[in-house]
Amino acid sequence: KDIEYIRSYYFNKKEDTRFSSSVGKYVGFTEQGVRNAADWNNNPSILSRAKAQKEVYCLNHVQIDYNNIL
């Protein structure tokens, strides 16, 4: 329940764009990243796919990772 899915995109070693499941949308950090984030946030299929990744990846692997840590 306290899991956050973050997907970051980098260009020239600088973070360009990030999706965070707690925010629920893409956020841009550079001029190009702001344009990309606006395009991706306006595309329902891209945005819904990114939102689903928390359930697809994080929630399916949390128990495995938790057991390995212990």
As a whole number, the mean pLDDT across the chain is 89
Instruction: Give residue 54's pLDDT.
Output: 84
Residue from 43, 62, 46 nearest 54 by CA? 62
Task: Identify the band that residue 2 occupies on the pLDDT scale cut at 50, 70 and 90.
Answer: confident
* The pair of three-digit structure tokens given for residue 55, joined into one six-digit string: 């359930």
The domains of the chain are located at: 6-68
pTM over 0.85: no
Residue 19 near residue 11, CB atoms below 8 Å: no
Average pLDDT value for residue range 51-56: 86
Task: Identify the band that residue 30 occupies on the pLDDT scale cut at 50, 70 and 90.
Answer: very high
Average pLDDT value for residue range 28-50: 95
- The structural architecture, per CATH, of the domain 6-68 is Roll (3.10)
Residue 25 near residue 47, CB atoms below 8 Å: yes
